Amino acid sequence: MRNLYLAIVKNRDHVIFIFALLFSSYILLNNDNPRMGVIRGKSAEIVAFISSPMTWVKSLLFLEEENHLLREKNVVLSLQVESMLNLQKENDQLQTMLDFKHQTTLLLQPAHVVNKGIQPNLLSIIIDVGTDDNVHPNQPVLTSKGIIGKTIETGKNASIVQLISDVNYRLSVRILPSGATGILRWLGDNQAQIREVQKNVDISIGDKIITSGFSDIYPAGLPVGQVAGVYDERGSFQKILHATLPNDMSAFQYVFVVIENSNEIE
Partner 1 sequence: MFLLLLRTQMKSNRYIISGVAVWLIQLLLADLLAIKTVRPDFLAILILYWAIKYGRLHGTVSGFLIGILIDLSGTASFFGLSPLLYSITGYLSGNLKGAYSKLNPFYFSLAWVGILGLQFFIFCIVQYQDILYIDPRLFWMKWLGTTLYTFCFAGILQVIYPFHRLEPC
- Residues forming contacts to partner 1 in the complex (CB under 8 A) are 12-13, 16-17, 20-21, 23-31, 36, 39-40, 43-44, 47, 50-51, 54, 115-126, 149, 152, 160-163, 165-168, 185, 187-189, 193, 249-250
Least distance to partner 1, CB of residue 192, Å: 11
- Return the SS3 of 35: helix
CB nearer to partner 1: give 23 or 100: 23
Give me the sign of the Cα torsion angle 254, 187, 173, 140.
Answer: negative
Least distance to partner 1, CB of residue 258, Å: 18
CB nearer to partner 1: give 160 or 171: 160
Helix (H) or strand (E) run with residue 112 in it: strand 102-115
| 165 and 122 Cβ atoms separated by less than 8 Å | yes
CB nearer to partner 1: give 34 or 120: 120
| Residue of 198, 11, 45 whose CA lies nearest to 115 | 45
Least distance to partner 1, CB of residue 263, Å: 28
CB nearer to partner 1: give 14 or 73: 14
Least distance to partner 1, CB of residue 14, Å: 8
The C-alpha torsion from 202 through 203 and 209 to 213, rounded to 10°, is 20
| Residue of 143, 139, 120 whose CA lies nearest to 190 | 143
- Determine the Cα–Cα distance for residues 160 and 124; give it in Å rounded to an integer: 7
Give phi and psi for 15, each to the nearest 5: -65, -45
CB nearer to partner 1: give 170 or 215: 170
CB nearer to partner 1: give 39 or 70: 39
The one-letter code for the residue type at 135 is V
Least distance to partner 1, CB of residue 152, Å: 6
How many other C-beta atoms can be found within 10 angstroms of the C-beta atom of residue 247? 22
- DSSP code of residue 219: P
Least distance to partner 1, CB of residue 246, Å: 16
